[in-house]
């Protein structure tokens, strides 16, 4: 009986303890640049149970604290617990960090408000009814442009009760979210290998097949395994992804580490991965996976329908770009010749459409294949190869010689509209469409950039769909004109004027050939001039011989020798221009098409951008290439004016130029980050930091001046 009474009173005490227990209480501490306190998931704890108590940081605006690996500098937040006997504290559950660039350094940490949960376990001997005090000595390094070490001693009172604990209404939700969002071990296969001067980290698994991997980033636990400040280049594959990283100090001595662990951030989620040294599987890279989203301005929110619509609009506008004027003038002259022969005009329009689509399809397949092989390339990638540029220069020269009447390909414009609707006429229209795409490759029209940036992060079918939509938009004006009788009847009738117009069109093609030679000298140095000029002379001789053979053939002769010699010389010119390969490229900044720019600039690097931002200066970044006609027009019309030069001086803005004339993985990664697959791209960063604002692809002096003044105040 006495035992039952004792049990009754023990239960009564426990019930009273629950009724009168004081909820978990803590006093916030202002350390100077943040306010810290301990917050608990539950209002109480049972003997032998575990709850979570978090160090809450409310950080001043513009300041940040650090993750477990602080990156290039900084120091992680540390917690030393003082607990009653028998009580234990586990490790911090670190939330996924964000990147905190500081000058040329890249650090990892937190801004705003962050919770660092820690599991706290009560011993089985804890007595219900008592209230324990948990004490944590916390050290922070809080940084803006300067870093300040700050400390706080935080306490929390926690009642001990029997039975299930009551959730803390203020903090159970936020702590539950912090725990659910924290990186968790993933069922991914992770392998890394050192390849040349890079580390390739391959991650594959079922959870990655439909995930958005375009913003993937690897935060290593060990601060010595990678160079944190260097960009991480993403390649998507059918089974996962690969990240190309720059090795850190750990790889400079001996063979380097055998394993590499950290957090992989993908599409707003974070996973803990542990990679072992091995051979990356082929399914980790390439464009064979389901759709994902591109990162950055303009591309991130696109889906296939919107990307295709943007590509179609971009193709329409591409007809207005200066690089395709000569070819489209040729097509307009051809349509004029067929204006009063509707059937022939329609056939020509369809052949032109087929040539455009076939060439865009070939470019898309080549681009996908090259990227699947691990190369960092984008729109216009073929023009980053000196042999290709040399070959295109000779092709433009051959077209110009043809237009000048030195020799003929197919039928001359002089006789169009007089029954030349046969195969040769169709082949000529097809070739004109293909040539128009080749000439348009250096240009990126408005709407094209986000569409292509999105396409190059997608599966092969989606990417090809976008490229075909681009081709449809590009070919639509002339293809539709061939089927609209009202438009055809407005064109002038064929006549002798067409031969003169044809010869006039040769001069823009001579200009295109000269421009490509200029690009070649930037890529391969002035020594390339001797080879390309020699090849041009051989080609011109071959064209003249072919022309003589054609005229003699028209007179009834059979000049097989002249034709054969001409064919051999054409082959010799091609070999002289593109084989053997050119020597090492000559690095250096891109000059504007019209001469030296009025605004002094430096070559772009992420470190220079970060340093300029840290110094509180606006930054203008020009992603350009010598082979990009739009870029060079902008250089001459907008960027080389006195008004823009004065605006740079007045605002103190830094001008960085990212030259993509030759392959550059850093620039390609930055383009992809902003949802772009090619140039031009113009970014302006405010004096107070933050992300860059994307400017239109067609610049004016007034637009740049306004953008610089706006950036000075933000």
Q: Considering only residues 423 and 56, tell me which one the structure prediction assigns the higher pLDDT.
A: 56
Predicted pLDDT of residue 517: 85
Predicted pLDDT of residue 349: 79
Range of lowest pLDDT (157-171, 264-278, 402-416, 530-544): 402-416
Predicted pLDDT of residue 340: 57
Q: What is the Cα–Cα distance from 654 to 649, expressed in whole angstroms?
A: 9
Q: What is the Cα–Cα distance from 268 to 92, expressed in whole angstroms?
A: 21
Burial 35-51 (b: 16+ CB within 10 A, else e): bbbbbbbbbbbbeebeb
Predicted pLDDT of residue 565: 65
Model confidence pLDDT, tens digit, residues 203-233: 988 878 767 777 889 999 999 999 998 888 8
At residue 219, φ and ψ (nearest 5 deg) are -105, 105
Predicted pLDDT of residue 158: 93
At residue 575, φ and ψ (nearest 5 deg) are -65, -45
Identify whether the C-beta of residue 115 lies closer than 8 Å to the C-beta of residue 52: no
Show the tokens assigned to 613.
Answer: 């931002």
Q: Considering only residues 176 and 554, tell me which one the structure prediction assigns the higher pLDDT.
A: 176
Note the helical H segments in 602-655: 606-614, 629-634, 642-651
Answer yes or no: pTM beyond 0.85.
Answer: no
Ramachandran quadrant class, 675 (left: phi over 0; alpha: psi -120 to 50; beta: rest): left
3 state SS of 126: coil
Show the tokens assigned to 389.
Answer: 């540029």
At residue 212, φ and ψ (nearest 5 deg) are -80, 105
Q: What is the Cα–Cα distance from 26 to 210, expressed in whole angstroms?
A: 44
Instruction: Determine the topology of domain 2-181 in CATH.
Output: Immunoglobulin-like (2.60.40)
Model confidence pLDDT, tens digit, residues 461-472: 888 888 888 889
Q: What is the Cα–Cα distance from 513 to 639, expressed in whole angstroms?
A: 25
Output 168-171 pairs: Cβ under 8 A, ≥24 positions apart. 168/23, 168/24, 168/39, 168/40, 168/41, 168/42, 168/43, 170/39, 171/39, 171/40, 171/41, 171/54
Q: For the domain covering 185-284, report its CATH number.
A: 2.60.40
Predicted pLDDT of residue 424: 45
Residue (of 657, 605, 669) closest to 631 by Cα position: 657
Q: Is the pLDDT of residue 19 over 60?
A: no
Please determine, looking at this structure, whether the domain spanning 602-712 carries the CATH number 2.102.10.10: no
Model confidence pLDDT, tens digit, residues 291-315: 333 333 333 445 678 878 888 888 8
Between the alpha carbon of residue 391 and those of residues 147, 327, 438, 519, 630, the distances in Å are 56, 18, 12, 12, 21
What's 637's DSSP letter? I
Beta strand residue intervals within 564-613, DSSP E: 602-603
Identify whether the C-beta of residue 35 lies closer than 8 Å to the C-beta of residue 113: no
Work out the number of other CB atoms within 10 angstroms of the CB of residue 571. Answer: 12
Predicted pLDDT of residue 333: 60
Q: What is the mean pLDDT of residues 372-377?
A: 50
Question: Which residue(s) pair with 89 in the sheet?
Answer: 120
Confidence at 50, pLDDT banded by 50, 70, 90 = very high
Q: Is the pLDDT of residue 371 over 90?
A: no
What radius of gyration do the chain's Cα atoms show? Answer: 33
Q: Where are the domains of the chain?
A: 2-181, 185-284, 304-578, 602-712
User: Between the ranges 344-353, 361-370, 430-439, where is the mean pLDDT highest?
Assistant: 344-353
Q: What is the Cα–Cα distance from 100 to 557, expressed in whole angstroms?
A: 77
Q: Say whether 602-712 and 2-181 share the same fold.
A: no
Length of the chain (residues): 714
Q: What is the dihedral angle through the alpha carbons of 204, 207, 212, 214, rounded to the nearest 10 degrees?
A: -20
Between the alpha carbon of residue 158 and those of residues 42, 120, 152, 165, 588, the distances in Å are 9, 11, 19, 11, 65
Predicted pLDDT of residue 574: 64
CB-based contacts of 484: which residues, under 8 Å, 6+ apart? none
DSSP string, 173-207: HHHHHHHHHS-EE---EEEEEEETTEEEEEEE-GG
Predicted pLDDT of residue 458: 66
Predicted pLDDT of residue 71: 92
Q: Considering only residues 97 and 102, tell me which one the structure prediction assigns the higher pLDDT.
A: 97
Q: Is the pLDDT of residue 139 over 90?
A: yes
Range of lowest pLDDT (56-70, 262-276, 337-351): 337-351
Q: What is the mean pLDDT of residues 685-692?
A: 83
Work out the number of other CB atoms within 10 angstroms of the CB of residue 80. Answer: 11
Q: Is the pLDDT of residue 584 over 60?
A: no
Range of lowest pLDDT (56-65, 365-374, 400-409): 365-374
% residues pLDDT > 90 (the chain): 26
Q: What is the mean pLDDT of residues 44-57?
A: 94
Work out the number of other CB atoms within 10 angstroms of the CB of residue 691. Answer: 12
Question: Which residue(s) pair with 116 in the sheet?
Answer: 55
Peptide bond into 123 cis (omega under 30): no
Model confidence pLDDT, tens digit, residues 496-551: 766 777 788 778 778 878 878 887 777 776 777 778 888 888 888 888 888 888 77
Identify whether the C-beta of residue 707 lies closer than 8 Å to the C-beta of residue 695: yes
Peptide bond into 680 cis (omega under 30): yes
């Amino acid at each position: 009986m006495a035992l039952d009474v004792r049990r009754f009173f023990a239960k009564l005490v426990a019930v009273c303890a629950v009724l009168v227990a004081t909820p978990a209480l803590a006093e916030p501490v202002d350390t100077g640049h943040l306010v810290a306190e301990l917050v608990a998931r539950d209002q109480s704890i049972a003997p032998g149970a575990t709850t979570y108590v978090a160090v809450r940081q409310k950080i001043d605006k513009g300041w940040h604290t650090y993750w477990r690996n602080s990156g290039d500098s900084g120091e992680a937040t540390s917690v030393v617990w003082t607990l009653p006997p028998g009580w234990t504290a586990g490790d911090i559950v670190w939330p996924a960090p964000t990147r905190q660039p500081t000058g040329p350094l890249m650090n990892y940490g937190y801004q705003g408000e962050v919770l660092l949960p820690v599991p706290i376990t009560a011993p089985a001997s804890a007595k219900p009814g008592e209230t324990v005090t948990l004490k944590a000595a916390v050290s922070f390094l809080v940084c803006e442009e300067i870093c300040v070490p700050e400390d706080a001693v935080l306490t929390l009172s926690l009642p001990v009760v029997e039975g299930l604990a009551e959730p803390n209404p203020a903090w159970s939700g936020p702590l539950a979210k912090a725990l659910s969002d924290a990186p968790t071990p993933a069922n991914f296969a992770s392998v890394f290998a050192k390849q040349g001067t890079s580390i390739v980290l391959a991650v594959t698994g079922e959870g990655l097949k439909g995930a958005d991997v375009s913003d993937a980033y690897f935060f290593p636990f060990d601060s010595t395994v990678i160079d944190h400040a260097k960009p991480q280049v993403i390649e998507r594959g059918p089974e996962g992804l690969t990240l190309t990283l720059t090795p850190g100090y750990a790889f400079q001595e001996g063979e380097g580490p055998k394993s590499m662990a950290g957090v992989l951030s993908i599409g707003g989620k974070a996973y803990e991965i542990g990679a072992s040294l091995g051979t990356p599987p082929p399914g980790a890279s390439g464009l064979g996976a389901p759709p994902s989203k591109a990162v950055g301005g303009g591309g991130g929110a696109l889906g296939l329908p919107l990307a295709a619509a943007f590509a179609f609009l971009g193709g329409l506008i591409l007809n207005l770009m200066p690089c395709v004027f000569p070819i489209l003038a040729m097509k307009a002259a051809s349509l004029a010749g067929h204006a009063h022969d509707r059937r022939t005009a329609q056939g020509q329009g369809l052949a032109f459409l087929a040539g455009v689509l076939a060439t865009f399809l070939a470019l898309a397949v080549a681009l996908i294949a090259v990227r699947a092989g691990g190369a960092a390339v984008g729109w216009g990638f073929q023009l980053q190869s000196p042999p290709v540029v040399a070959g295109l220069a000779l092709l433009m020269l051959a077209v110009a010689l043809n237009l000048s009447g030195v020799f003929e390909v197919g039928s001359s414009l002089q006789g169009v509209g007089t029954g030349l609707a046969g195969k040769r006429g169709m082949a000529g229209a097809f070739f004109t469409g293909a040539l128009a795409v080749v000439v348009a490759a250096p240009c990126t029209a408005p709407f094209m950039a986000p569409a292509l940036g999105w396409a190059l992060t997608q599966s092969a079918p989606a990417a090809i769909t976008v490229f075909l939509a681009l081709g449809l938009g590009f070919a639509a004006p002339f293809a539709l004109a061939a089927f609209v009788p009202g438009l055809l009847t407005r064109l002038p009738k064929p006549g002798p004027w067409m031969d003169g117009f044809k010869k006039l069109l040769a001069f823009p093609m001579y200009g295109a050939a000269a421009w490509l030679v200029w690009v070649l000298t930037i890529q391969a140095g002035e020594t390339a001039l001797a080879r390309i000029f020699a090849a041009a002379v051989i080609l011109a001789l071959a064209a003249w011989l072919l022309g003589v053979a054609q005229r003699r053939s028209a007179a009834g002769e059979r000049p097989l020798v002249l034709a054969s010699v001409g064919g051999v010389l054409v082959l010799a010119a091609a070999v002289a221009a593109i084989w053997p390969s050119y020597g090492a490229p000559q690095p250096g900044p891109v000059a504007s098409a019209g001469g030296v720019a009025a605004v002094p600039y430096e070559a772009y690097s992420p470190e220079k951008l970060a340093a300029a931002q840290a110094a509180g200066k606006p930054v203008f970044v020009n992603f350009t290439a010598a082979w990009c006609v739009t870029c060079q027009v902008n250089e001459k019309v907008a960027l080389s004016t006195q008004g823009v030069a004065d605006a740079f001086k007045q605002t103190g803005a830094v001008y960085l130029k990212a030259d993509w004339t030759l392959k550059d993985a850093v620039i390609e990664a930055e383009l992809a980050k902003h949802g772009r697959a090619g140039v031009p791209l113009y970014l302006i960063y405010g004096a107070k930091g933050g992300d860059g604002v994307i400017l239109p692809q067609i610049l004016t002096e007034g637009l740049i001046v306004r953008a610089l003044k706006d950036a000075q105040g933000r």
